[in-house]
Amino acid sequence: MPAPIDLHEVAERELSERYRFPWRVKACMSTACLSAGAGPAFAAMEQKIEKEDLALEARLIPTGCMGLCSRGPLVRVLRRGLDEVMYQAVNAEVGIDIITDHIRDHKPVETNVLDHDIPFFTSQERVVLENGGVIDPNRIESYVGHRGYQALERVITRMAPEDVVETIRASGLRGRGGAGYPVGSKWALLAASAGETKYVVANGDEGDPGAYMDRTVMEDDPHRLLEGMAIAAYATGATHGYVYVRAEYPRAVERLDRAIRVARRKRLLGRNILDTDFSFQIDVRIGAGAFVCGEETALMASIEGRRGTPRLRPPYPTERGLWGEPTMINNVETLANVPTIMRRGADWYAAIGTEGNTGTKVFALAGDLVNTGLIEVPMGITLRHIVEDMGGGIPNGKSFKAAQTGGPSGGCISAEFLDTKVDYDSLRNLGSIMGSGGLVVMDEDVSMPEIAKFFMQFSMDESCGKCSPCRAGTVQLHQILERLTAGVGTRQDMKDLEHLCHVVRDTSLCGLGQTAPSPVLSTLHYFRSEYEDLIVSEEVAHA
Ligand SMILES: Cc1cc2nc3c(=O)[nH]c(=O)nc-3n(C[C@H](O)[C@H](O)[C@H](O)COP(=O)(O)O)c2cc1C
Ligand code: SF4
């Protein structure tokens, strides 16, 4: 067996390397920037550095997401001892100018400078995304150089498993997969379960339309997830782990596979981690391409190689999970919080956010806003601050109409509630949910019944068909919404719509069916007049 990695030596080497170059150019190579042309821009900068003989002056580093995806490709230029300059819309031409004008001639390329002293950046509190735009996701040394794996080393060499569970409990961390279940309590349940083999599963299925928080963690900071899983395993007595990755995320699969291989070689995973008695293996499983496979019991069926359909709970996975053994499923973002909590302490984490809703939440901010992208904000920030300050408000002189949170399981929040705190409890009180972090802002032109129909179509298409309230109910709800939005719906349709929503919500087997009516119910609640305006009389409808 090779000797384990010496984390402190690697961290020191990385640090001295960091100060060897007067200039560091950090280029976002995450999926959003890549699709906006970051690849050719990176290649052009690389060639120009060579050509200008600047290889000893400037180091070009590929990084993960910097957040303001709508302005990408983004590049940060850091000069030793001086402030950084951030660039937006960096194509190959601009990339070349950055090397020649900024680095060689010390004159920033004014046309593409992005002011990073704006609320979009300054209002963020980065815990899960702290390495975004900072480290190179493909180099374990880069992660270790930013305190990576320090928490795992300390936990497995100096802490008792029950103290780790207690720290997570005291941090107040709640599951980021949607329901907000207290993480410490779930870990304690697994720790207390008896089984031959216990499993920890990271849920990276991320099926909500428009959401990409978990993809960003898996692609841009894969070792953070592995470290979080290993700490969870140590705390609960698990020896095997799976990352269940959405099939549409091939880059995440590739980066996780590579990270696992390297971590094994460095003795941070596998047998006798860092020469201790603790052993833990992780494998990647590719999702089956259905939204319902993110539901924990369907996910386990899918990992076992069966069709991904939910089953009734109890028994809960911590009692009877994978292959009948105790299993704990946590969302990717949940687990990505763990290394930082263990490193900085439960009190530090609990001081962020509000009581009962501690820490931060990552949102994929989308829709009718000036600034869209990924943000990580303290819990309890107001929706108004996110929309008006961080998002830069609604473009084209239009006004705000609604914010949709929680995707197909969530609801729409109207303008009168813009001062609501964004946390699990406040959003639930408004008939929506925090969900996993999709946040879509809509302007005055958007029709709310159309939005409800869009989400109902999604739930109808994604229903696994196992139980009839969801299988047939979502189809019928969609048909009614089609009639209403086509202008041929009647008052009876409205009554049926509402009644059926309650039936589907109350009688479906799993969370998909139980929450599928939420977008309809919340838009009916806050925007009823829009539905009323669509109604025609019975005579006209049957004419
Ligand atoms: C239809 C459906 C889809 C779900 N999709 C996801 C998902 O993509 N990712 C996720 O973490 N949780 C998803 N969940 C929630 C999981 O069942 C589970 O509660 C969660 O992974 C637990 O992790 P947490 O405690 O860290 O939040 C979904 C639930 C339902 C009902
Ligand atoms: S509620 Fe829908 S998705 Fe869930 S088991 Fe029933 S049919 Fe399948």
The finding on whether 471 has its CB within 6 A of some atom of ligand 2 is yes
> 212: CA distance to ligand 2 center in Å?
24
Taking all residues of the chain, what is their mean pLDDT, rounded to a whole number? Answer: 96
- CA nearest neighbour of 181 among 449, 424, 458: 424
SS (H, E, C) 380-392: CCEHHHHHHHHCC
The whole-angstrom separation of Cα 230 and Cα 220 is: 18
User: pLDDT digit string (tens) for 347-401?
Assistant: 999 999 999 999 999 999 999 999 999 999 999 999 999 999 999 999 999 999 9
Q: What's the pLDDT at 215?
A: 97
What are the pLDDT digits (tens) for 208-234? 888 999 999 999 999 999 999 999 999
Q: Ligand 1 pocket test: which of 174, 248, 303, 329 has the largest number of ligand atoms within 8 Å of its C-beta? A: 329
Token pair belonging to 342: 């263990």
Q: Which of 191, 262, 275, 271 lies closest to 233 in space, CA to CA?
A: 191
Judge if pTM exceeds 0.85.
yes
For atom 28 of ligand 1, which residue has the closest CA?
Answer: 295
pLDDT of residue 43: 98
- Specify whether the backbone of 178 is left (phi greater than 0), alpha (psi in -120 to 50) or beta: left
**Other Cβ atoms closer than 10 A to 162:** 12
Phi and psi for 327 in degrees, rounded to 5? -140, 140
Q: Which atom of ligand 2 is nearest to the CA of 465?
A: 7
Taking the C-alpha atoms of residue 338 and residue 361, their distance in angstroms, rounded to an integer, is: 13
pLDDT score of 18: 85
Pocket test for ligand 1, best of 296, 335, 424 (most atoms within 8 A of CB): 296
Atom of ligand 2 nearest to the CA of 514: 1
* Rounded Cα–Cα distance for residues 475 and 460 (Å): 6
Between the CA of 201 and the centroid of ligand 1 the distance, in Å, is 11
308 with 247: CB under 8 angstroms?
A: no
- Smallest Cα–Cα separation from 537: which of 494, 476, 500, 501? 494
Q: How confident is the model at residue 81 (pLDDT cuts 50, 70, 90)?
A: confident
Nearest ligand 2 atom, CA 462: 3
Q: Which ligand is nearest to the CA of 293?
A: 1
**Could you report the per-residue pLDDT of 30-66, keeping only the tens digit for each?**
999 999 999 999 999 999 999 999 999 999 999 999 9
d(CA 502, CA 458) in angstroms, rounded, equals: 18
Q: How many angstroms is it from 174 CA to the middle of ligand 2?
A: 25
- DSSP code at position 412: E
**Is pLDDT at 83 greater than 90 in this prediction?**
no
Direct distance between the N- and C-terminal alpha carbons of the chain, in angstroms, rounded to an integer: 81
User: Residue 443's pLDDT band (boundaries 50, 70, 90)?
Assistant: very high
Residue nearest to atom 8 of ligand 2 (CA): 464
- Cα of 311 from ligand 2 centre, angstroms: 9
Instruction: Say if residue 433's pLDDT is above 90.
Output: no
Residue having the nearest C-alpha atom to atom 2 of ligand 1: 295
Q: Token match 């089953």: residue? A: 311
| Spatial CA neighbour of 219 closest among 129, 292, 280, 285 | 129
Distance (Å, whole) CA 117 – CA 228: 31
d(CA 485, CA 466): 29
pLDDT at 432: 85
- 408 touches ligand 1 (CB under 6 Å): no
Residue in the structure block whose two tokens are 């349940």: 189
Res. 95: pLDDT tops 90: yes
Q: Which residues contact 250 (CB under 8 A, 6 or more apart)?
A: none
How many whole angstroms from 296 Cα to the centroid of ligand 1?
6
CA distances from 251 to 215, 286, 403, 453 (A): 9, 12, 30, 32
| Separation of alpha carbons 421 and 431, rounded Å | 14
pLDDT band at residue 1 under the 50/70/90 scheme: confident
Please tell me the distance between residue 445's alpha carbon and the centre of ligand 1 in angstroms.
Answer: 32
Beta bridge partners, 440, equal 366, 404
Q: Which residues pair with 442 in a beta bridge?
A: 402
Residue 333 near ligand 1, beta carbon < 6 Å: no
Q: Is the minimum distance from the CB of 459 to ligand 2 under 6 angstroms?
A: no
For residue range 125-176, what is the model confidence (pLDDT) as tens digits?
999 999 999 999 999 999 999 999 999 999 999 999 999 999 999 999 999 9
Give per-residue pLDDT as tens, 508-541: 999 999 999 999 999 999 999 999 999 987 777 6
Residue 335 alpha carbon, nearest atom of ligand 1: 26
Ligand index nearest the alpha carbon of residue 309: 2
- Ligand 2 pocket test, pick from 205, 299, 470 with the greatest ligand atom count within 8 Å of Cβ, gives 470
Rg (Cα) of the chain, in Å, rounded? 24
